[in-house]
Chains A and B, each alone.
Chain A
Amino acid sequence: MEFAPKQDQSENTVSIPVGGPIQRTQYPYVTGTSVVAIKYKDGILMAADMGGSYGSTLRYKSVERIKPIGKHSLLGGSGEISDFQEILRYLDELILNDNMWDDGNSLGPKEVHSYLTRVMYNRRNKFDPLWNSLVLGGVKKGQKYLGMVTMIGVNFEDNHVATGFGNHLARPILRDEWHEDISFEDGVKLLEKCMRVLLYRDRSAVNKIQISKLTEEGATSFPPYSLKTYWGFSSFHNPTVGAEGSW
């Protein structure tokens, strides 16, 4: 789970409490909010907003939280941005080593997901987690794959995934409205619906979203844009109608 820096914990170095094990406590500084992804007819669609929050301030507004990995995968990450960049470095090395074999074979999404799970789980066992929830999606040889790994190493594969607040707000919508072989336009509309609800109800969301798609041909990132919001309900304009003076 990703939270703003806690005020009550003050240690981020090695501490040795009396009679207990050595612990490295950590809390995230610059965080990204939810990522939502679905499988569609030709591959994977992933959406995330472009905000990096520093506690309760919106510090960075052009953070790309979805990156292509190798030829077959897309990685989306929420949580600590520096840890996400570290993971990108690890994966870079992984893909480089794979390419050096030059054997015509390349790492697919299932393999990358498995690698990420091991990395995350091992770090949490050392009490030094990478503070991220990652979404890994890809297509290889016609097989679509979409999986998720959290900072404690929980991993699973599904037709639609979301991280952070998206679990509570976007998942119900996806469970209701996703269906097998959804078209590209419908998929984008569905993701926009989820991102709009997140924009209304998640305090760390930003109205600048980026959608990326991945098909057999490769990854495409669409330019970022903002969603239209509606605030014209009559109750919003005049909440105290009939009850002057109340609130």
Chain B
Amino acid sequence: MSKAAVDLPPKGGFSFDLCKRNDMLAKKGLTGPSFRKTGTTIVGLIFQDGVILGADTRATEGPIVCDKNCEKIHYMAPNIYCCGAGTAADTEAVTDMVSSQLQLHRYHTGRESRVITALTLLKKHLFSYQGYVSAALVLGGVDCTGPHLHTIYPHGSTDTLPFATMGSGSLAAMAMFESKYKEGLSRDEGIQLVVEAICSGIFNDLGSGSNVDVCVITKGHKEYLRNHLLPNPRTYINEKGYSFPKKTEVLMTKITPLKERVEIIETGDAMEE
């Protein structure tokens, strides 16, 4: 092998170098590492004045619940939020990345972000990774053109819908939506329907559980209701409490800082905007 081969800088995008070897190992019976999936129910619907998004809060690692109260409704822009299902790392990273791209775009244009901007950035990224970035998203927001709700699939296709569900509990939630949704819902009716759909996912799907998060977005205003409903409280708590053995007694506390705290006074001109 020639050691004088030039080391080119990585070109970006997915590197398919190890795929053949992984395939060979899989045929020999090696099971690869499993991902932390969010096994989820996420929903969105358009109501009279805007968009309501909902999500459950359970994150699973195979058969184990690894996070009982995780956040699946991610911030994209002050007027746009995105729910994510699939591999937790992928949804976090992708929404974070597009959120910062949107902020840069806002600085550049001086205008409020539009939902289709976020949509196009997300679908471009996901398509270029050919489905390997396992993120299924429900994107919703209100911009100058009105309220919008979209679903984005891991391979990069998108849908524009009046009501949408994704994740393992999507069928249970969709059953609720298909039977009860109508146009022009009020805010309370909309929240009620979203909560019903998420609860249907929580109680009928094993990959979803714990609590309900809701996010209401209207023109110029958003409300992130974290843990809006807690339908799974801890019911059987030991009244006697837990008695721990006696800890070591603290006689004296003295804190010595390792570095001196120095105050910097700004001189010269302030940074230009």
Contacts and interface: CB of A to CB of B under 8 A. Distances in A.
Partners in one complex: yes
A246 B162 CA distance: 17
A172 B162 contact: no
Contacts of B116: 242-243, 246
B146 A175 contact: no
B183 A172 contact: no
A205 to B, nearest CB: 12
A173 B176 contact: yes
Interface string A171-205: 11101100000000000000001101100110000
Interface stretch (B81-89, B167-175, B262-270): B167-175
A169 B183 contact: no
Contacts of A168: 171-172, 175
Contacts of B161: 235, 239
Interface string B149-182: 1000000001011100000000110111011000
B129 interface: no
Interface string A232-245: 01111001111100
B145 A241 contact: yes
B204 interface: yes
Contacts, number: 63
A247 interface: yes
Contact of A169 (B148, B171, B196): B171
A170 interface: yes
B120 interface: yes
A241 B146 contact: yes
B171 to A, nearest CB: 4
Given A196-B178, A240-B160, A246-B120, A234 B183 contact: yes
Contacts of B178: 196-197, 200-201
**Residue of B148, B176, B178 with most partner-chain A CB within 10 A:** B178
A241 B147 CA distance: 10
B40 interface: no
A146 to B, nearest CB: 19
Interface in B24-50: 46
B46 A242 contact: no
Contacts of B183: 233-234
A236 B149 CA distance: 12
A235 B162 contact: yes
Interface in A199-247: 200-201, 233-236, 239-243, 246-247
Interface string A28-57: 000000000000000000000000000000
B179 A175 contact: no
Contacts of A172: 172, 175-176, 200, 203-204
Contacts of A173: 175-176, 179
A234 B179 CA distance: 18
A233 B161 CA distance: 9
Contacts of B204: 171-172, 175
Leading 8 A-B pairs by shortest Cβ distance? A242-B145, A168-B171, A235-B162, A239-B160, A172-B172, A243-B116, A172-B200, A197-B178
Interface of B: 46, 116, 119-120, 145-146, 148-149, 158, 160-162, 171-172, 174-176, 178-179, 183, 196, 200, 203-204
Given A235-B46, A240-B160, 9 more contacts: A168-B171, A171-B204, A194-B175, A196-B178, A201-B175, A233-B162, A241-B145, A242-B146, A246-B119
5 contacts: A169-B174, A170-B175, A172-B175, A175-B204, A242-B148
